Structure 1
């Protein structure tokens, strides 16, 4: 039954796209976030839903869409260069079969991120894309939040819409994205036009979805999620009106929530301070050390999944309590083929120094571009510019939270963050197009005034 509901929904989007091809782009956003192939049980896993919507989105734009206002920007150039470099490293990969398997989905996500800004040529389309991204993610987060409340959480145990522990449904990945998405939720709740923002219904939904987003890291019991929550709370200090009230309320909420947190969650969070007491954290540190040494010898990288070649031995420290006596036990652990567990080291180890530089530039230029628009919105008296400045602020916060979470999770090519980068490019392009139109209007007005002045002088 569940498969039929999703298929019927997608069928409606495909039919609507016959009249408005842009809807096919929105359909692909939904498919790439929710991944219905992993959600279904009967026939959805066998359907090429992603490929079909991917082709429809491109064909619809190429054949039927108006290209006015579409531009290829410098940031898209960086993304294209990274895509080409990834193709090159895949061709020389240390582990060709594994690299080809990862390349099969990475190239599609990166290509769509290149394409999306070309379609987001109007403010209405940009807002629609934000809505679809947030609401698609909400279908996963609401499920995770409810199951956490019902006691269905646990590290590697929480099941949301899919039993899969890969992609967006992997615990640390979902925790990072759930917290990163909160600024977009509140932008829509306050500034949305397609569904009116500022209404009681919109604000209540934002509160409920924020609560679900905060529950997901508790349900997955991931340390990354806790760090992302704390970081977002600090970031919001920059924009809230009453900072001391906000800080006091946040601290009170954190203290009040402690008695309700599972003991297993509190024990796992305690390993943030001492990584040697946790084998998982210790392994990450050793993998990062190995990656630095590997890149020193292979500056061009080893292609996707080059971590499969790592091997190392390290020592863990564990405190053992017997009665009133606490002793320390040291244990030697040998590991091999362990994942990078960090987007930074993932890119460095797979794409080498050239790919790492491109990836860093892609994100750095996004942060700078959004900061400029944010400040412009704050300085403007135009409500519309203030609105889009607020979106720039939200997109910047999403990216910053992602970049923190990416320190501990291998999500360098995660489709959702690539969509966020595409939204940033689309926003900057739309604002530039508006500036160009306004400048042309002002130029024509000045010419008209000069002609009128000459005419008056002649008479």
Structure 2
């Protein structure tokens, strides 16, 4: 039944797109996040649904959409430059076969991020794209949250819809994405219009936020805990009663401690023991190797260049004998270890040009969202009350991603690139609206001047 349901949902969206081609864009968002073709075992695998949705989305826009005011923004230009540079570095990749395999999905994620803002020309479309993104991810998050509550969690043990450790289904990636979506969920609970924010929407939103917070516990991903801390700090900016917020957050955290599994608290405690924890020590050695590699190859080594790393280091090991603790050092040899950091992933694979482009892409997005947030601060109502809060939500989501990306190789994560596309779409929408208002105001001023000139030129009826 699950296989049939997934197949019918996908085919249904394809058919609805014949009437409203924009639905094909939403279909691609749904398929790219959930990967129903991997969940199903027969019907869902009959067709290359992801490729079909990708082509339909572009074809529908090219044929049926209006192109009034069509233009690419600076950030779309950065995405395009990054896309071209990734292709160039692929030509001298140290591992061409592995590089080609990664390129096969990276180019689609980058191209769709460039394309997405062109389709999100209204508030309704922006909201619809966000809603599909949140609800599709929610299907995974709710399932994982229920399994966590039922005791089915644990590092590497939380079974999701797809058990291939890729895309959003990788445990640390899911933790980062889940926490990054919380600000957007909060926006829907206050400003959504597709589902008006009544008590049902707020109840579902609160339950979904709780499920999002459970993901780092269920996956025991240390990155998720850091993302929760980052979210908690950022929310201080917008809350009115900050001391009450801090006290409530501390009380909830303390109250939750007895209910956390011991395996979770033990794993989280290793965050402060980087030197004596092999996983963290290996990451630092990989980062050191990457810096040495880029010193020799400043233009990068192409996708999956980490496969060429090899190093030996000494790791301290504590031996407890009664009240005596003795520290010894043992040699650890590693090779072909992943970057475990998007910053070093970009630096190693794309060199300094790629890292600069990727950093500019996200920094300019944060600045852009901050400008919109400040411009619309204090405005209320259906027309002007949603832009500022949405800019803030997308900004928070981006910052949480960057925190998580510091410890994961998710530089090209499709869900995050979708959020980048949403940021670009919001900025373009605001610019178009303000431009229209400026034109209307200019026309009104010209009309008023013409009326004044006409009155001045007319003869005074009181003069014979």
Please tell me the TM-score bracket, short chain as reference: over 0.9
Tell me which residue corresponds to 1:96. Answer: 96
Query: Offset of 1:68 from its aligned partner?
Result: 2.3
Q: Structure 1 residue 384 and structure 2 residue 383: aligned?
A: yes
In structure 2, what is the Cα distance between the partners aligned to 1:178 and 1:396? 15
Query: Which residue of the partner structure matches residue 87 of structure 2?
Result: 87
Where 2:377 maps in the other structure, the secondary structure is helix
Deviations 1:43-97 (Å, cap 9, x if unpaired)?
4245311101000000000011112243211110011000000000011100000
> C-alpha separation between the residues in 1 aligned to 2:318 and 2:373?
48
Q: Residue deviations 1:264-313, cap 9 Å, x none? A: 11111111001122211111010000000000000000000000110001
Output the CA distance in 1 between the equivalents of 2:372 and 2:70. 19
Q: Any idea what SS the aligned residue of 1:412 has?
A: coil
* Aligned residue runs from structure 1 range 6-21, under 5 A: 6-21=6-21
User: 2: distance between equivalents of 1:129 and 1:64?
Assistant: 18
Confirm or deny that 1:182 pairs with 2:208. Answer: no
- What is residue 112 of structure 2 aligned with on the other side? 112
Residue in 2 that maps onto 1:151:
151
User: What secondary structure does 1:129 align onto?
Assistant: helix
So what's the TM-score if we normalise by structure 2? 0.97
Query: What is the match of residue 341 of structure 1?
Result: 340
CA offset at residue 2 of structure 1? 0.9
Aligned counterparts of 2:119 and 2:223: Cα–Cα separation in 1: 34
Q: Decide whether the 8 Å contact of 1:310 with 1:336 is kept in 2.
A: yes
Give me the whole-angstrom Cα distance separating, in 2, the residues matched to 1:218 and 1:419.
Answer: 26
How far does residue 455 in structure 1 lie from its aligned partner after superposition? 2.2
What is the alpha-carbon distance in structure 2 between the residues aligned to residue 384 and residue 138 of structure 1?
28
More deviation in 306-315 or 448-457? Answer: 448-457
Please name the residue that 1:282 is paired with.
Answer: 281
**Deviation for aligned residue 1:323:** 4.2
**Higher Rg of the two aligned structures:** 2
TM superposition shift of 1:332? 1.0
Q: CA deviation at 1:318?
A: 2.7
- Aligned position for 2:318: 319
How far off is 1:329 after superposition?
Answer: 3.5
Closer, same or farther: CA 99–363 of 1 in aligned 2, 3 Å: same
| Whole-angstrom CA distance in 2 between matches of 1:458 and 1:381 | 43
Find the aligned partners of 1:320 and 1:51 in 2 and give their Cα distance.
Answer: 55
Q: Partner residue of 1:269?
A: 268
* Separation (CA, whole Å) in 2 of partners of 1:189 and 1:340: 37
Q: Trace 1:434-453 onto structure 2 (pairs within 5 A).
A: 434-453=433-452
Q: Any unmatched runs of 5+ in structure 1?
A: none
In structure 2, list runs of 5 or more residues that go unmatched.
Answer: 459-464
In 1: Cα distance, 2:141 partner to 2:374 partner: 31
Backbone CA RMSD of aligned residues = 1.2
Q: Stretches of 4+ moved more than 4 A in 1?
A: none
What whole-Å deviation, never above 9, does each CA across 1:157-191 have from its counterpart, x for those lacking one? 11122122111101111111111110001101110
Matched residue, 1:27: 27
Deviations 1:97-140 (CA, angstroms, capped at 9, x unpaired): 00000000000000000000111111111111111111111001
- Alpha-carbon separation, structure 1, partners of 2:123 and 2:36: 28
May I ask how many residue pairs the two structures share in their alignment?
458
Contact 1:71/1:429 (<8 A) preserved: no
TM-score (norm 1): 0.98
In structure 2, the partner of 1:44 is: 44
Question: How far apart are residue 380 of structure 1 and its match?
Answer: 3.6
Q: CA separation in 2, counterparts of 1:46 and 1:97?
A: 27
Matching residue of 2:461: none
Task: Give the whole-Å Cα distance in 2 for the aligned partners of 1:40 and 1:320.
Answer: 49
Distance 1:334 1:423 in 2: 43
User: Does the 8 Å contact 2:7/2:43 carry over to 1?
Assistant: no
Shift of 1:325: 3.8
Partner of 2:257: 258
Cα deviation, residue 4, structure 1: 0.8
Helix, strand or coil: the match of 1:335?
A: strand
Equivalent residue runs for 1:38-437 within 5 Å: 38-197=38-197, 199-380=198-379, 384-437=383-436
Q: Distance in 2 between matches of 1:299 and 1:349?
A: 9
Note the alpha carbon deviations across 1:23-46, whole angstroms, 9 max, x for none.
000000111111112222234245
Q: Secondary structure at the match of 2:320?
A: strand
> How many angstroms does 1:320 deviate by?
3.2
Matched with 2:462 is none
Asked whether the 8 Å contact 2:341–2:410 carries over to 1, the reply is yes
Distance 1:258 1:177 in 2: 23
Deviation at 1:453, TM superposition (A): 1.4
